[in-house]
Chains A and B, each alone.
Chain A
Amino acid sequence: MTELLQQVINGLSLGAIYALIALGYTMVYGVLRFINFAHSDVFMLGAFTAFYSSRAMGRWGFASGGFLGGLLVLVISMAACAAVGILIERLAYRPLRKRSTLTVLITAIGVSLLLQNGGQMVFGVNPKAFPNIFPSQTFKLGGLVINSNQLVVLGVALALLTALHWIVQRTRIGTAMRAVSFNATAASLVGIDTNRIISFTFGLGSALAGAGGVLYGMNYPSIEPLMGNSPGLKAFIAAVLGGIGSLPGAALGGMVLGFVETGVSGTRWSTYRDAVAFAILIGILLFRPAGLLGRNRIEKV
């Protein structure tokens, strides 16, 4: 029983992280109909920004390890990632706005490779131990071992998801985002500056990915420049599972995938857990390509 609960908590925190990354994929796909391959590397940058900024803070005598310090690190990482996301969009994707999907996809792959290999050059290839940015305590609840970090991950994820929901549903810019995702031409015809909205979307999605990176670092022992590949691919699968273009879908997909992966890790097929994720992807695309919550698009002949 406690094992099960343990797995549930693990599944929740992994799922939350996947959800955060998946949201970025789905938002960008929603406004641009394009899969941002480089998204997973922004996630990685988030983790590294947190790493370096918490070190810097410690050096400069900020209360590192304190709760507020941790929040500051999180905010810095999110901001940095938002900036990177917007920059990438401006430099690499905007010039290709009218080109074929293939061209943009390859460019995205190029950006991803650039970030990964650049990261390896700048940060070094070896994994680094992620510091405790929040004060860490371990609780024991009758057999269950919970680390405060896991609680923070859940809390932060929940807060961010709520904030996102509020932004998308309740603010003007959120409504503009949704308008652009339905029909960009119509949106521009009613006076929405699509470029600005797209930049905003990239910024928002990247900030979430950055947060995901920080949270991931908190839960796992080490970070390295290629760390984005696996979670990124799985978060993408989560986005497709939930219905690409649908925000609740991405969140749902993330949670489902987190649970499935945690579950599989607990069995003897553990080394196949990546393959299981892909099998889910293939299954979804074959049997329900719109995803769990997605909408079906019919090509007009």
Chain B
Amino acid sequence: MPSWLNRSQLVLVAALLAAGLAQFFSNHLDSYVLSVAMGVGINIVLASSLNLINGFTGQFSLGHAGFMAVGAYTSAVLTGKLAAQLNPIFGGHIYLLFPFALVVGGLVAAVAGGLVGAPSLRLKGDYLAIVTLGFGEIIKVIFQNVEFVGGAKGLNAIPDYSNLFWVFGTTAITVYTVWALLNSTYGRGFLAVADDEISAEAMGLNTTRYKMVAFVVGAFFAGIAGGLFAHLNNSINPSGFDFNKSIEIVVMVILGGMGRHTGVILSAILLTVLTELLRQFGDYRMVIYSLLLIVLMILRPQGLMVWPFKNPLWFYLKAYWPFRMLARRPTS
């Protein structure tokens, strides 16, 4: 059996096919369940992409929602205001226009990631956190002030292009990308940079480049998630991409154990579902949420998902094999 080449990419292809299949049968599902499922997928993308930056490369970024916003707005503009110009290029085929819009959204978000990363990444710890927070807020303020994208009121009537295939397909690609990137000698460099930057640099690693790659790739997927989000909720406004949203994503990463692939996926699922369940409690929701956060940090800061292998839930979630592959400890 040849090396991992075939296995991991085969799994990816299988996952994409599964997503397609799921989409095919999606008519039988309740639309609420569908939207929650898609929400889960989007959050997995957000959490995994932030995990690359925070968890694996150790850069504390609190502005991830800003990149999401960039992707959301860009793709919405492409499928909305610019649809008339773009449609002829794609022969009116939405299944070409939509991924195009998503990818462009991701690329613009990646550029934003580079712009934010370049000055910020020479800072450490608290300071980096605050600066990324600041950038996230600046992005929000900019969107609030640009009339072309609706200003503070945001964009409405965004077409309903998100479906299970696009969402879960993106999820599969994101998870594969983060995993594949890290599972190589090159990829170990991210972990080294997170562990001890001075030491990493002394061993010949260009720490700035590693951090930038993490930032840009993370921002790219956040942008795509934003696009999927926009076309799921049909309307977006700047205040939905504020600091609170960034914190939500950060919590998913921390809960999942900062730098564990499966942990972060599970925690994204858990938290999305939990948010839905707590919605019935109205105002109490955020109070409970914040209390949980505090208690968790005091009692179990390494996250809830540190031993996914022993968690039985896990086996029932998807096919056994891809998870087993993902859960394999990152050593040689």
Contact = CB atoms under 8 A, between A and B. Distances in A.
Interface residues of B, number: 40
Given A101-B126, A120-B283, A278 B138 contact: yes
Interface in B130-177: 130-131, 133-135, 137-138, 141-142, 144-145
B198 A286 contact: no
Contacts of B125: 101-102
A110 B129 CA distance: 15
Contacts of B137: 233, 274-275, 278
B144 A35 contact: no
B127 A117 contact: no
Contact of B119 (A113, A121, A274, A282): A282
A107 B141 contact: no
B294 A111 contact: yes
A267 interface: no
Nearest to B124: A299
Contact of A105 (B129, B138, B244): B129
A129 interface: no
B130 A114 contact: no
A285 interface: yes
B298 A285 contact: no
A106 B254 contact: yes
B213 to A, nearest CB: 21
Interface stretch (B185-193, B285-293, B311-319): B285-293
A21 interface: no
Contacts of B298: 92, 95-96, 107
A68 B89 CA distance: 74
A-side interface mostly: helix
A130 to B, nearest CB: 23
Interface in A84-122: 92, 95-96, 99-107, 109-114, 116-118, 120-121
Given A121-B287, A271-B144, A107 B131 contact: no
A272 to B, nearest CB: 6
Contacts, number: 105
B119 A286 contact: yes
Contacts of B127: 240, 285, 289
B297 A106 contact: yes
A298 B136 CA distance: 29
Contact of B123 (A92, A101, A285, A299): A285
A259 interface: no
B78 interface: no
B110 interface: no
A109 B287 contact: no
Contacts of B120: 282
Contacts of A279: 138
Contact of B130 (A35, A106, A118): A35
B141 A275 contact: yes
B179 to A, nearest CB: 23
Cβ-closest 8 pairs across A and B: A110-B293, A113-B290, A117-B286, A278-B134, A114-B290, A110-B294, A107-B297, A275-B141
19 contacts: A92-B298, A96-B297, A96-B298, A99-B301, A100-B301, A102-B125, A106-B254, A106-B297, A107-B293, A107-B298, A109-B293, A114-B287, A233-B133, A272-B141, A274-B137, A275-B141, A281-B131, A286-B122, A289-B127
Given A100-B301, A275-B142, A282-B135, 14 more contacts: A35-B126, A92-B298, A101-B125, A101-B126, A103-B301, A105-B60, A110-B290, A113-B286, A120-B283, A120-B286, A272-B141, A274-B137, A278-B135, A278-B138
Interface of A: 34-35, 92, 95-96, 99-107, 109-114, 116-118, 120-121, 229, 233, 236-237, 240, 271-272, 274-275, 278-279, 281-282, 285-286, 289, 299, 301
Interface of B: 60, 119-120, 122-123, 125-127, 129-131, 133-135, 137-138, 141-142, 144-145, 198, 243-244, 247, 250-251, 254, 258, 283-284, 286-287, 289-291, 293-294, 297-298, 301
